[in-house]
């Protein structure tokens, strides 16, 4: 049997019906809560993450703080290598002592390559050893298309990631360190009497934006891992391969606008929701309600919302005895452009076997008439 789910839709304007595209060479839009990929373009293809790498560097520092191995007030010594780093810097002085807090601001707000190297060396001894640690975390998160060789994102042909992997990393740092993550929304930081603004353009222009990290290298163009929390719904967008900082801002803004305008979180099933009633074979009750074993919350485009189909798969009649919440089948949810989702189909109540004489009577009655009378 098939169960068709009716979903009431808000009327949309013609703009909502235009297929989404982006000038980015690589892109992904991820719903934070449901983990649904709302849009993707070469999301698993290898590309240079540039300074988006620093999200992992910050993650490792956050993790050390959370488990008590580091304190924000701890001081790290700045090496000659860190001092001489080119590119974006927080202008650390060689042999100086700098707090972990200041180095985190330098990595996250100022995108300091010098701060990234300083952290790596003080945690692991060398940046090369720290990169091995970064890859250990990446493997743990299932970042299957990532290899780090440095802590800053400095160009290297063996240093790569993918949009999906960076989105996975972004979700983990937001989820696991809600307090420390707030550093990402800080708009400016002053160190060594030098004031530098956060390079994330959305912090100044998009309501609800609170992270994460921009990136740029010549061979990959302009990129960003960005996130917005709009009325409790968080979206993560990661893009790369844009031609300018201006184009990066325009494209990522467009992608967030589309995600919030043209997709919606839908509760397709609630846990315990009654979906059907089935005959019971030789039980002390003739029928049992069948319920959903899980809540199914998913994010869908308007087109997907209009084409959801659910099918209940179970053998009828169901044999007694039954335990409460015993699995008797599956709910199969089909959504366009998605793999079929399987949800356990459960018996709502326990049902015992009927006494022998009643079982004989009910069995004959069912075979002859196709239903079961209560006795």
Q: Which is the catalytic residue, given 24, 41, 48, 51?
A: 51
Active site residue 249: no
User: In whole angstroms, what is the distance from residue 245 CA to residue 267 CA?
Assistant: 38
Is 161 annotated as catalytic?
A: no
- Residues 259 and 34: beta-carbon distance below 8 Å: no
Which band of pLDDT confidence, cut at 50, 70 and 90, is reported for residue 366?
low
What's the pLDDT at 24?
97
Per-residue pLDDT reduced to its tens digit, 118-132: 999 999 999 999 999
- Range of lowest pLDDT (7-16, 91-100, 216-225): 7-16
Q: Is the pLDDT of residue 359 over 60?
A: no
Residue 91, pLDDT score: 94
What fold, for 22-263? Answer: Beta-lactamase (3.40.710)
* Non-local CB neighbours of 43 within 8 Å, separated by 6+ positions: 26, 27, 28, 37, 162, 163, 164, 167
Active site residue 51: yes
Query: What was the pLDDT predicted at 142?
Result: 98
Distance CA 217, CA 215 (A): 7
Residues in the chain: 375
Domain 270-369 has CATH 3.40.50.300: no
Q: CATH 2.60.410.10 occupies which residues in the chain?
A: 270-369
Burial 50-73 (b: 16+ CB within 10 A, else e): bbbbbbbbbbbbbbbbeeeebeee
Q: How far apart are CA 162 and CA 253, in angstroms?
A: 20
Q: Indicate whether 7 pLDDT > 70.
A: no
317 preceded by cis ω (within 30°)? Answer: yes
- Cα separation, 201 vs 25, whole angstroms: 20
Q: What is the pLDDT of residue 243?
A: 97
pTM of the model: 0.86
Which pLDDT score is estimated for 370?
61
Residue 223, CA atoms < 13 Å, CB-side half-sphere: 29
Give the range among 70-74, 83-87, 362-366 with minimum mean pLDDT.
Answer: 362-366
pLDDT score for 349:
96
In sequence order, which ranges of the chain are alpha helices (DSSP H)? 54-66, 80-83, 100-108, 113-124, 127-141, 163-176, 245-262, 302-305, 356-369
Query: What are the angstrom distances between the C-alpha of 104 and each of 50, 210, 236, 321?
Result: 17, 16, 22, 61
Joined together, the tokens standing for residue 207 give 């309501």
Q: Copy the structure tokens of residue 238.
A: 């990661």
Q: Is the pLDDT of residue 333 over 70?
A: yes
Count the alpha carbons within 13 Å of 60 in the hemisphere toward its beta carbon.
26
β-bridge mates for residue 181, sequence order: none
What is the pLDDT averaged over residues 283-305? 94
Instruction: Give, in degrees to the nearest 5, the angle at Cα 190 between 186 and 192.
Output: 150
| Average pLDDT score over residue span 100-124 | 97
Catalytic residue among 111, 116, 170, 278: 111
Nearest to 282 by CA among 318, 255, 258, 246: 318
* Angle between helical axes of 113-124 and 54-66 (0-180°, round to 10): 40
pLDDT of 373 > 60? The answer is no
* Residue 354 confidence (pLDDT): 81
Mean pLDDT of 297-325: 94
pLDDT of residue 362: 61
SS3 at position 175: helix
pLDDT score of 329 more than 50:
yes
CA distance 302 to 10: 9
Task: Tell me how crowded residue 235 is: count the other CB atoms within 10 A of its CB.
Answer: 23
Query: For the segment 133-176, what is each residue's pLDDT rounded down to a tens digit?
Result: 999 999 999 999 999 999 999 999 999 999 999 999 999 999 99
pLDDT tens, residue by residue, 238-292: 999 999 999 999 999 999 999 999 999 999 999 999 999 999 988 999 999 999 9
Residue in 41, 48, 54, 249 annotated catalytic: 54
Which residue ranges does the chain devote to CATH 3.40.710.10?
22-263
pLDDT of residue 4: 35
- Look over the chain and give the mean of its residue pLDDT values, rounded to a whole number: 91
Strand partners, 47: 161
Output the pLDDT for position 282: 86
């Amino acid at each position: 049997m098939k169960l068709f789910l009716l979903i009431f839709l808000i009327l949309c304007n013609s703009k909502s019906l235009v297929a989404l595209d982006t000038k980015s060479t690589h892109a992904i839009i991820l719903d934070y809560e449901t983990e649904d990929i709302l849009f993707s373009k070469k999301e698993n293809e290898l590309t240079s993450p540039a300074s988006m790498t620093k999200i992992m560097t910050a993650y490792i520092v956050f993790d050390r703080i959370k488990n008590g191995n580091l304190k924000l007030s701890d001081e790290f010594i700045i090496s000659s290598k860190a001092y001489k780093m080119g590119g974006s810097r927080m202008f650390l002085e060689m042999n100086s002592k700098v707090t972990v807090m200041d180095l985190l601001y330098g990595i996250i707000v100022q995108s300091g390559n010098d701060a990234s190297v300083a952290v790596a060396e003080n945690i692991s001894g060398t940046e090369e050893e720290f990169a091995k640690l970064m890859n250990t975390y990446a493997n743990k998160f299932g970042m299957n298309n990532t290899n780090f060789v440095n802590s800053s994102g400095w160009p290297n042909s063996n240093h790569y990631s993918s949009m999906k992997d960076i989105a996975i990393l972004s979700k983990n740092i937001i989820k696991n360190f809600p307090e420390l993550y707030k550093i990402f929304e800080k708009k400016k930081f002053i160190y060594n009497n030098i004031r530098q603004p956060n390079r994330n353009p959305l912090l100044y222009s998009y309501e609800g934006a609170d992270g994460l990290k921009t990136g740029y290298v010549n061979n990959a163009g302009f990129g960003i891992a960005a996130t917005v929390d709009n009325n409790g719904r968080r979206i993560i967008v990661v893009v790369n391969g844009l031609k300018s900082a201006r184009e990066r801002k325009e494209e990522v803004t467009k992608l967030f606008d589309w995600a919030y305008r043209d997709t919606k979180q839908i509760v397709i099933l609630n846990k315990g929701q009654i979906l059907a009633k089935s005959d019971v074979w030789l039980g002390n009750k003739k029928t049992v309600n069948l319920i959903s074993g899980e809540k199914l919350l998913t994010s869908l485009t308007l087109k997907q919302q209009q084409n959801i189909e659910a099918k209940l798969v179970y053998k009828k009649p169901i044999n007694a005895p039954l335990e409460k919440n015993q699995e008797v089948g599956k709910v199969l949810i089909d959504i366009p452009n998605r793999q079929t989702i399987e949800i356990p189909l459960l018996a709502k109540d326990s049902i015992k076997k009927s006494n022998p004489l009643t079982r004989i009577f009910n069995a004959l009655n069912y075979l002859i008439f196709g239903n079961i009378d209560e006795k």
